[in-house]
């Protein structure tokens, strides 16, 4: 096992340096870069302002800093946004920073190489990170906005806009490479009765809980969408009939077994599910139609069951 040195995470709060001083290492940077500081800072800032893609931004920063400081790898982690990105090669010695701007956390950034960073080098790194924080915050805000545009605000699952583009893409890929693809249509049973009896606020609570139960049942490769109202669509890539039916039954059982306590009311909820598997050369409309027909057959045959289309 290798011992990683310099691995303690430091706070980098813009515009203050972690060394507790605002005295920028201007002479050190000028000597290291053989350029006026303003020129280097402006060059890096301009390079970082050319993209709002987080990975492209970090790769650009990696390349620009590498011109000034010798290091082998850069890694970035932002757990709330689900970002884990590494460029270059991770090495034994690391300088890791928790980036903060205006009280907002931007994640953690690590620089690594095979030998220890000097104090002068860490001061230069910290100075140059000031060129990164605002472009990084803009990229994160843009990424979050895109994600929110594709999410259902009530349940937190993907919305219909995301569904339309994703289904089309996955059907085309499955047809091109001959891989299995399945679709599950899910509808909450007697949902109108829940709304009429307990009110729409309670109905919304039940929808959120059912969506959570379904999400907890699917695999990381499966994608769930809210199609509208109380209906959800689940896309199962690389999954044939047997696996799709098994997963649909697991979802049904999980929803049935869950306890739904909304606005101090204990509510029973079940769901009907229809399953369809992509046929050779079949298009998205035909696949969706068969899943929908199977769903309505499940509802007409007693609800709280799974049917294959």
pLDDT in tens, 77-117: 998 888 999 999 999 999 999 998 888 899 999 999 999 99
Residue 36: pLDDT band (50, 70, 90) is low
pLDDT of res. 29: 55
pLDDT tens for residues 133-162? 999 999 999 888 877 788 999 999 999 988
Cβ neighbours for 56, distance < 8 A, ≥ 6 positions apart:
none
Residue 201: C-alpha distances to residues 104, 190, 211, 256 (Å): 33, 16, 15, 21
pLDDT tens for residues 246-286? 999 999 999 999 989 998 889 999 999 999 999 999 999 99
150-308 and 9-148 share a CATH fold: no
Q: What is the pTM of this model?
A: 0.64
For the record, the structure tokens of 268 come out as 């029973």
Residue 126: pLDDT band (50, 70, 90) is confident
- Residue 173 CA neighbour count, 13 Å, CB half: 11
SS3 per-residue string spanning 275-297: EEECCCCCCHHHHHHHHHHHHHH
pLDDT of res. 75: 95
Domain locations in the chain as residue ranges: 9-148, 150-308
Bridge partners, residue 184, by sequence: 234, 275
Classify burial at 77, counting beta carbons within 10 Å of its beta carbon; exposed 0-12, middle 13-18, buried 19 or more.
middle
* SS3 of residue 172 by DSSP: helix
* SS3 of residue 167 by DSSP: helix
Please tell me the CATH code under which domain 150-308 is placed: 3.30.70.270
Active site (catalytic) residues: 230
Cα 128–134–138 angle (5° rounding)? 140
Residue 11: pLDDT band (50, 70, 90) is confident
Q: What percent of the chain has pLDDT over 90?
A: 64
Average pLDDT in the 229-240 region?
96
* CATH superfamily assigned to domain 9-148: GAF domain (3.30.450.40)
Bridge partners, residue 113, by sequence: 93
């Amino acid at each position: 096992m290798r011992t990683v040195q310099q691995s303690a995470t430091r706070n980098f709060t813009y515009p203050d340096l972690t060394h507790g001083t605002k005295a920028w290492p201007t002479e050190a940077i000028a000597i290291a870069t053989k350029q006026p500081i303003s020129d280097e800072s402006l060059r890096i800032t301009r390079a970082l302002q050319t993209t709002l893609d987080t990975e492209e931004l970090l790769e650009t920063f990696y390349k620009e800093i590498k011109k000034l400081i010798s290091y082998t790898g850069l890694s970035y982690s932002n757990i709330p946004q689900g970002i884990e990105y590494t460029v270059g090669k991770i090495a034994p010695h690391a300088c890791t920073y928790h980036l903060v701007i205006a009280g907002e956390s931007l994640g953690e950034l690590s620089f690594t190489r095979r030998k220890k960073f000097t104090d002068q080098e860490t001061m230069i790194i910290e100075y140059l990170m000031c060129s990164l924080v605002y472009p990084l915050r803009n990229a994160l805000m843009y990424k979050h906005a895109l994600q929110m545009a594709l999410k259902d605000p009530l349940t937190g699952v993907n919305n219909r806009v995301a569904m339309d583009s994703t289904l089309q893409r996955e059907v085309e890929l499955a047809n091109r490479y001959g891989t299995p693809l399945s679709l599950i249509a899910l509808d909450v049973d007697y949902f109108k009765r829940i709304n009429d009896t307990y009110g729409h606020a309670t109905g919304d609570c039940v929808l959120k809980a059912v969506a959570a139960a379904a999400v907890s049942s699917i695999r990381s490769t499966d994608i769930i969408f809210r199609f509208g109202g109380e209906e959800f669509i689940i896309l199962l890539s690389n999954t044939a009939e047997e696996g799709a039916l098994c997963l649909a039954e697991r979802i049904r059982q999980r929803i049935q077994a869950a306890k739904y306590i909304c606005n101090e009311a204990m509510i029973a909820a079940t769901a009907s599910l229809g399953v369809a598997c992509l046929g050779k050369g079949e298009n998205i409309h035909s696949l969706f139609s068969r899943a929908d027909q199977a769903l309505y057959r499940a509802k007409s045959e007693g609800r709280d069951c799974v049917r294959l289309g």
